[in-house]
């Protein structure tokens, strides 16, 4: 049985590269991603370095706490993720995860 209460909680996964990825939300779509991404970057004091917006892909390259990430829209499964570009990003991912989890549970 699926626990629907936990479906939109932020989660951390290890990618094939060995770096980690944070699923920020599953409540997103193609049209809402730019606003959601901008809100996320602003909330965590980040800087957008590049927006890649093509007919088949939406991905931003961002700096948060001076570490590089891909902020991506994924359509299968549907979600917005923060993917670390290096192992030095892990502590930032864990900090953001803790803050998002605390917000979701309050």
What is the CATH classification number for the domain harbouring 67?
Answer: 3.30.310
Does 34 map to a domain? yes
Domain count, the chain: 1
How, if at all, do strands 20-25 and 11-14 pair? antiparallel
Domain-located, residue 2: no
Cα–Cα nearest to 82, from 8, 3, 10: 10
Handedness of CA 8, 39, 105, 69 (dihedral sign): positive
pLDDT in tens, 37-89: 999 999 999 999 999 998 889 999 999 999 999 999 998 889 999 999 999 99
* Cα–Cα distance, 81 to 18 (Å, whole number): 16
Q: What's this model's pTM, rounded to 2 decimal places?
A: 0.89
Residues near 68 by Cβ (< 8 Å), separated by ≥ 6?
Answer: 49, 61, 62, 85, 86, 89
């Amino acid at each position: 049985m699926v626990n629907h209460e936990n479906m939109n909680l932020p989660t951390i996964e290890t990618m094939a590269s060995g770096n980690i990825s944070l699923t920020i939300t599953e409540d997103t779509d193609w049209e809402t991603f730019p606003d959601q991404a901008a809100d996320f970057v602003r909330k965590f004091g980040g800087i957008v370095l590049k927006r890649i917006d093509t007919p088949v892909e939406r991905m931003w390259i961002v700096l948060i706490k001076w570490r590089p990430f891909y902020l991506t829209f994924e359509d299968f499964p549907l979600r917005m993720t923060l993917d670390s570009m290096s192992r030095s990003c892990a502590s930032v991912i864990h900090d953001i995860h803790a803050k998002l989890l605390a917000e979701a549970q309050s």
